[in-house]
Chains A and B, each alone.
Chain A
Amino acid sequence: MATYQLNVNGQTKKVDVDPSTPLLWVLREELKMTGTKYGCGISACGACTVFLNGVATRSCIVPISLIADQKIITIEGIASDPVGRAVQNAWVEKDVVQCGYCQSGQIMSAVALLKATSKPTDTNIEESMGGNLCRCATYVRIREAIKMAAETI
């Protein structure tokens, strides 16, 4: 066990965990922030996507020992970012969600895309969102919501 000081959504959090624990499980079990989801544990589905220093990252494969002072933003904190807020609103406006389990990760990936590319093409969307699995296959509406958010930013 080791103690780590984390910067999560602008707040400092202290945790005492095994150094190999993935960030995902620290968020979910130590910090009780369950918006970030476990889907596969091998970075194949994107449900656990968070930002590390602004980069969309699969938190299920990043051990806590490698986080150091990187700024962590999760779905719970993304609304304070104007792009994050716009994406969430577009998601609601387009009635994207079904079961909703993957949508935290979808939204985080969409925010990352729109920060890099303000007016994404279909190909941009397929590349950037291509690692986020949705078994309800809400993809058609995800695509529409990204384009809608792009218009409002």
Chain B
Amino acid sequence: MRAATKMKSDLHLNRRSFLVASSAAAGGLLVSLYLDFPVLAQEGRPPAKVYPPDAFVHIKPDGKILITVNRLEFGQGVQTSLPMVLADEMDADWSQVVPELAPAADVYKDPVFGIQMVGGSGSIAHSFQQYRELGAKTRAMLIAAAADRWKVSPNDCRTENSVVYGPNGKSSRYAELAERAAHQPVPNTVRLKNASEFRLIGKRTPRLDSRAKCDGSQKFGLDLDLPGMKIALVAHPPVFGGRVKTIDDKQARSLSGVKDIFEIPLAKGSGVAVVADRFWTAKQARDLLRIDWDLSGVELADSSQLWTRFRALVRTPGNVALKRGDENSINRIPAARRLVADYEFPYLAHTPMEPLNATVRFEGDKAEAWVPSQFQTMDQMTIAQVLGLSPDKVTFHTEYAGGGFGRRAVIDSHVPREAAVIAKRLRGTPVKLIWTREDDVRGGYYRPMHAHRVEIGLGADGMPAAWRHVIVGQSLVAGTPFEAMMIKDGVDATTVEGVVDTSYNIPNFHVSAHNPTVNVPVLWWRSVGNTHTAFVMETLIDELAVRAKTDPIAYRRKLLKPDAKKLHAVLDLLDEKSGWRKTLPKGHAAGISCHECFETAVACAVDVSVENKRPKIHRATVAVHCGLAVNPLTIESQFQGGIGFGLTQLMGQGAITLKNGRVEQRNFDGYTPPYIGDVPVAVDVHIVPSTDPPTGCGEPPVPVISPAVVNALARLTGQRYRNLPLAQI
């Protein structure tokens, strides 16, 4: 362990030398010194993290304030909201703020997860305090610089809109103070604003990237263009884990512009890389390859066989995830007050609009990578490992991403891995690997298929007295470094989340799970286990409310534990805002659902009719409790959009299926997410006013919508909808 004094001097030296370098280069000031302050830790205590402001804030001589965002921007709006937090505490002129996405570096790791990533709806939840402190520290250093210059006490200075004001009418712009401020010590503690002092936090603030995303100038990972860059496509095996036996590439090589064709190892099995000057050439060449695949010893996953297997498993108890009360009390409840419900959910692809890609250049003893990545730490490590470098030799740029929804947070980093393998062979040449849409739809890493079986015994009051729940689905993390953290007693926590942590007060509650192994790569899909567990819970609770002839909101309130504060609050707000439920036209019905995940509670009401044998969703009203709402405008957008994303699983073609090991869909013609006519015409979002710590808004919109819609359909048709995708009504 290093002594605190030594660290301080390191910091000092680093800061000085970095300042010199950067002053020369840009005439700038608070510069990007990269520094992961190691440890003031004592034995057994986690290290206290100190984040140096100069890794996050750069005030330019022209007054522009560059704020580094330690996250991928892929639609969630963090590129606006984290700078808002920092700029508010810093009293920066918002019109001068320019966000920048951080490269991979220790200092930009998620303060809670310990790796650099976007996931778990943690961007604001985990970095709110961090960015407030960074802003306040920067402000304190600017004040110290002004006080130093004017020979006054910092206590006699105040700040507003990128200006420090001192006694006797003195004032100085941040840009003028920046260099001097960089030499001030970083304060250990700073006073943060009271909520009443916020100027940006809590205000509906337009996104900073809107214009560039409307005029075509925003560059995404796929838009990257480097001198001498080649395009690579990979022919993947038709079955996951298949290996190349023979390659006939004679015709492919005859195309002008084809640079190289060779076999590469994949995360599982092997494939054939095609490298060309242009995408179209690479694609044509790949189409011309004749590859014999070795599928020996490879499991040929098949949806219909898997369902047979899952249906048998779900009728047997799994590994216990939760035991409360008496497991067998259900057997003593009369049959008339018991019900059994079976649910089935298919594989789902994420299909972000920007196809997966990664660009790598391996030159000399170092490499550079450009990746729209949710998992910078893992992706950087993987590239380094493939190239035989230490991670610090891989400069890793975080590129803007066209969506992700979990698909760019892959534990085995298979896309950057392929790019690195190809770049290694083409040493010195930058290579952009592109997954075509077909590669994406057929490429695995799906939300796993699941079966649920629930047995419920009702009390004489119509409330559930006993609940036995079995879930079958592949683990997301078995066999990965995440296993130790996320698998407890043989149960993957992501399989059962949304059930075991339910806030419904069920006295005798038993949950178990099977995590079978299947030769189909699986992955978290926006809101993870809640994608299916909330559907099961909320459709069943609704069914029980109907049986009890009770209003669905009233029934939920009655069943919720009194301490489920956030859920009670959103149900109250939803009730107040969905008065339209009482005046629906004939042929329409309202559906209700609520769910809490990632510490955010959501309640939803939808107005649904049936048109052309499909649900037509006329409107949705949503109530949200996410603690302090940092940017209510973004939150509104996240909920409007998240609802649309959640509807993917209700689409008639919202399923990935396999036959004889092969994925049956190839593109949006076979796997069809919602278009504009499939989502509600209007979505009004209401936020519960709160000063609680902010919680996530990326994933919580997704789970509520599908159960709400089928609950409305059930009222229209008298049918229950327990198998997805939703067939014709």
> Which A residues fall within an 8 A CB radius of B?
1, 17-18, 20-22, 25, 28-29, 32-42, 44-45, 47, 74-76, 79, 88, 91-92, 95-104, 107, 122, 125-126, 129-143
Contact = CB atoms under 8 A, between A and B. Distances in A.
Given A88-B215, A100-B209, 20 more contacts: A20-B284, A35-B215, A38-B222, A39-B437, A42-B667, A45-B353, A92-B214, A97-B207, A97-B214, A98-B637, A98-B641, A99-B402, A101-B353, A101-B354, A135-B645, A135-B673, A136-B353, A137-B644, A138-B640, A143-B681
A81 to B, nearest CB: 13
A35 B213 CA distance: 9
B213 A137 contact: no
A22 B641 contact: no
B677 interface: yes
B669 interface: yes
Contact of A97 (B210, B279, B677): B210
Interface stretch (B74-82, B126-134, B306-314, B458-466): B74-82
A14 B573 CA distance: 60
Interface of B: 74-77, 206-207, 209-220, 222-223, 225, 256, 278-281, 284, 350-355, 400-405, 436-438, 633, 637-638, 640-645, 647, 667-669, 673-677, 679-683
15 contacts: A34-B219, A39-B437, A42-B437, A97-B209, A97-B210, A98-B77, A99-B354, A99-B403, A100-B213, A101-B220, A104-B216, A129-B675, A132-B675, A136-B403, A143-B676
B676 A142 contact: yes
Contacts of A100: 75, 209, 212-214, 218, 400, 402
Contact of B353 (A17, A47, A130, A140): A47
A103 B681 contact: no
Contacts of A97: 207, 209-210, 213-214
Given A36-B216, A125-B676, A99 B667 contact: no
Contacts of A131: 675
A32 B647 CA distance: 36
B677 A25 contact: no
Nearest to A64: B280
A130 B437 contact: no
A126 B354 contact: no
Contacts of B642: 137
A41 to B, nearest CB: 6
A102 B644 CA distance: 15
Contact of B644 (A28, A42, A122, A139): A139
A128 to B, nearest CB: 9
Contacts of B640: 137-138, 140-141
**Candidate in A18, A74, A79, A107 with the most chain B CB atoms within 10 angstroms:** A18
Task: Label chain B's interface by main secondary structure.
Answer: loop
Given A34-B223, A129-B676, A122 B681 contact: yes
A39 B211 contact: no
A76 B682 contact: no
Contacts of B351: 135
A47 B354 CA distance: 9
A75 B216 contact: yes
A137 B645 contact: yes
B216 A95 contact: no
Contacts of B638: 98
A17 B438 CA distance: 24
B481 to A, nearest CB: 28
Contact of A138 (B223, B279, B641, B647): B641
**Candidate in A33, A38, A98 with the most chain B CB atoms within 10 angstroms:** A98
B353 A134 contact: yes
A99 B353 contact: yes
A145 B700 CA distance: 25
Contacts of B647: 137
Contact of B669 (A17, A42, A107): A42
Given A40-B667, A134-B353, A99 B401 contact: yes
B75 A44 contact: no
B683 A140 contact: yes
B353 A44 contact: no
Given A20-B284, A92-B214, A140 B668 contact: no
A21 B255 CA distance: 13
Nearest to B670: A44
B435 to A, nearest CB: 11
Contacts of A25: 278-280
Nearest to B405: A135
A126 to B, nearest CB: 4
Contact of A95 (B206, B437, B676): B206
Contacts of A103: 213-214
Nearest to B352: A135
B74 to A, nearest CB: 5
Given A42-B668, A74-B216, A101-B354, A22 B280 contact: yes
Contacts of B682: 140
A28 B434 CA distance: 14
A98 B667 CA distance: 23
Contacts of A41: 436-438, 667
A72 B669 CA distance: 27
A141 B637 contact: yes
Contacts of B683: 140
B436 to A, nearest CB: 6
B667 A44 contact: yes
Contacts of A125: 676
B353 A133 contact: yes
A21 B281 CA distance: 8
Contacts of B75: 98-100, 136
A78 B641 CA distance: 26
Contacts of A40: 437, 667-668
Nearest to A105: B353
A92 to B, nearest CB: 5
Contacts of A1: 256
Contact of B676 (A33, A91, A130): A130
A76 B212 CA distance: 11
A109 B501 CA distance: 45
**Candidate in B214, B219, B284, B640 with the most chain A CB atoms within 10 angstroms:** B214
